[in-house]
Chains A and B, each alone.
Chain A
Amino acid sequence: EAGVTQSPTHLIKTRGQQATLRCSPISGHTSVYWYQQALGLGLQFLLWYDEGEERNRGNFPPRFSGRQFPNYSSELNVNALELEDSALYLCASSWGTGPPTYGYTFGSGTRLTVV
C-alpha cells in the first residue's frame, strides 16, 4: 500500500512568489491535514480538509490556502511568500470524521525555502 506522498520534495522560491505543494493521501483516507514545521520547532496546524471541504484552519494568514480534490488529494498554496514561510510542510491523512481512534499517516514533507 502506497503511503502519503508529497511533492515536490524541495522547493525554492523568491520572496513574493507563490508556492504550490501537493499531497496524495493513503487510499481510502478522506481527510488531509497540513502542518508547518519551522526549523527546530514543533508542528503548527495549518489546514484540515475532509470530503472536499475545509473543516478547520489554524492561526495562519489568508495567503495560506488550499483545496481538496474529488480523489482526496490536496494542494496547499502559499501566496506572497515571505522569508519566514521557509519550513518543512507536512501532509498527513487519516480516515474521515469520527472517533479519534487512529493516528495520522504522514508524508515525508516538502522543504520550502524562500530566498
Chain B
Amino acid sequence: AQTVTQSQPEMSVQEAETVTLSCTYDTSENNYYLFWYKQPPSRQMILVIRQEAYKQQNATENRFSVNFQKAAKSFSLKISDSQLGDTAMYFCAPRGFNKFYFGSGTKLNVKP
C-alpha cells in the first residue's frame, strides 16, 4: 500500500516570501515519479512540478523547486517569491506504475 502524508493542513506566507510545503510518502515501487499539483479556488488541478525518482538532481520550475530525499522518502515543495496567485491547495502525488496517490493537501494562503 502507498501512503502520502502532508503534515501541514494549512500555511500562510507573506507575498514575496518563501514557503516550503512538506510531503513524505511510502512506496514499495522502484520506478516512480513524484508530482506536486495545485488546486486554486477555480477547482482546476494544475501540475506544478515533476521529479523523477531515479534522478538525484532536484527539479526546478521557475519559482518552484523541490527537495527530494529518496532515502527518507521526502518530497518537499519550495515556493520562492510567493505571489497572490499561488493561493491554492497543494497536493503531493507520487505516481507508481499506473497508480497515483494523493496526499490530503496543504492549503496555502498568500497574504498581501
Chain A positions near chain B (C-beta within 8 angstroms): 31, 33, 35, 41-43, 45, 48, 50, 55-56, 88, 90, 92, 97-101, 103-106, 108-109, 111
Contacts and interface: CB of A to CB of B under 8 A. Distances in A.
B37 to A, nearest CB: 8
B43 interface: yes
Nearest to A43: B102
B104 A104 contact: no
A92 B45 contact: yes
23 contacts: A41-B105, A42-B104, A42-B105, A43-B91, A43-B102, A45-B102, A56-B98, A56-B99, A88-B43, A97-B98, A100-B31, A100-B33, A100-B95, A100-B98, A100-B99, A103-B33, A103-B47, A103-B50, A104-B45, A106-B45, A108-B43, A108-B44, A109-B44
A90 B42 CA distance: 13
Given A31-B98, A33-B100, A90-B45, 11 more contacts: A43-B91, A45-B100, A48-B98, A50-B98, A55-B98, A100-B31, A100-B32, A101-B33, A103-B93, A103-B95, A106-B37
Nearest to B101: A45
B68 to A, nearest CB: 15
A42 B43 contact: no
Interface size class of B (residues with CB under 8 A): 20 to 34
A48 B50 CA distance: 22
A56 B100 CA distance: 11
A104 B42 CA distance: 18
Contact of B100 (A97, A98, A99, A104): A104
Contacts of B75: none
Contacts of A98: 98
A108 B99 CA distance: 21
A101 B51 CA distance: 9
A97 B97 CA distance: 8
